[in-house]
Homo-oligomer: A and B are copies of this chain.
Amino acid sequence: VPTIADHSERELIARIRTRLSPPAAWVAVGIGDDAAVIESERNHLEVLTVDALVEGVHFDRAFTPAAAVGHRALAVNLSDLAAMGARPRFALLSMALPPALPTDDFDAIITALADLAASHHVQVIGGNLTRTSGPLVIDVTAGGVVRRRQVLRRAGARSGDELYVTGRVGSAHAGLQALQARAAAPELRDAVHRYLYPEARIRTGLLVARNRAASACMDLSDGLADAVSQVCEASGVGADLTAEHIPIAPEVRQWFEARGLDAVREALHGGDDYELLFAVPRRRRRAFLAASRLAGVPVTRIGVCAEAAGVRVDGRTDLADPSAGFRHFR
């Protein structure tokens, strides 16, 4: 099988370029120089984020198709931009490649990443390729723009603000469990797809930001409990969540319960959903719901911000204990 070791850096860059959309007019210098040069957008702030996928940590190639790796590498960054209310514009792709990586897998990673980029009008303007003796690492830097008064921050929630979450939570985690168990689980097909090919909620983030309907926002990359804790901590408030309002798909709830797991706890702490959490002042509720309807993504009210610090679920403090989110580097 042809592998990365059979190609020069130059050949691999050429394989990437053929898969990308042609450069937009605002790209003054694209791939192939010491750095990329782009025009900024008037009356906008720039939003920048970086996130890495490491083989064996963030994905297992045994059950994660190469296309999913490429898709996720960009999607997790787009999700961070969405959580700021930003419109994505560009990405830089840095890869550390094990020489044994099959060329077909490399191509599939790039194709999926390029397709997701194109679907969001994101330009891949540069990057870096290197070899590594270790696992595959894909580091994507993404940039976007937002108007100053529309930035969605983690800080800003006030006591009394309602907490909403987009889509459903726990699905990606159940999908991952099904993949890890090599379970057939046709009823989890959607959940598995959500794990492999997460959809960044860019349109929802943008429309809510434009309506100035949220006082705080964060994405759910590390789980719902982590997101609620972080927003609360940054905002200096607490939160009361209602377990039965947490939107868990019926087949996902069944999956967890059939395994003797507490579905609510799994949904609170399972990561990889890439949904958005919003804090919404009561007087902005209609504007928020209008924005989410326009975005075409359902939102669910899961609780309310409170004066008292800490996150309670049906009054219990143990269920959402944020220490589960403090991942040690062991």
Report A's interface with B, CB cutoff 8 A: 4-10, 12, 28-29, 32-41, 44-52, 54, 56-58, 79-81, 83-84, 86, 90, 92-94, 96-97, 99, 125-128, 130-135, 137, 139, 141, 143-144, 146, 148, 151, 153-155, 217-219, 234, 326-330
Q: A27 to chain B: closest CB distance in Å? A: 10
Q: A100 to chain B: closest CB distance in Å? A: 10
- A12 to chain B: which residues have CB within 8 Å? 329
Q: A14 to chain B: closest CB distance in Å? A: 12
Which among A37, A80, A234 has the highest number of chain B CB atoms within 10 Å? Answer: A37
Q: A109 to chain B: closest CB distance in Å? A: 15
Q: Which residue of B lies closest to A216 (CB)?
A: B33
Other-chain residue from B44, B96, B330 in contact with A54 (beta carbon distance below 8 A): B96
Q: Could you tell me if B35 and A141 are in contact, using CB atoms closer than 8 angstroms?
A: no
- A234 to chain B: which residues have CB within 8 Å? 32-33
Q: Which residue of B lies closest to A138 (CB)?
A: B139
A47→B36 CA distance, assembly (Å): 5
Q: A50-B127, A92-B141, A94-B141 are in contact. List 11 more A-B contacts (CB 8 A).
A: A8-B326, A12-B329, A33-B234, A34-B83, A34-B217, A35-B49, A36-B48, A48-B92, A51-B94, A133-B135, A134-B134
A238→B40 CA distance, assembly (Å): 35
29 CB < 8 A contacts A-B: A5-B328, A5-B329, A7-B329, A8-B326, A8-B327, A8-B329, A9-B327, A9-B329, A28-B148, A32-B234, A34-B218, A35-B47, A37-B46, A38-B45, A39-B45, A40-B45, A48-B141, A50-B126, A50-B139, A51-B128, A52-B96, A52-B139, A54-B130, A94-B141, A97-B329, A99-B329, A128-B139, A132-B135, A139-B139
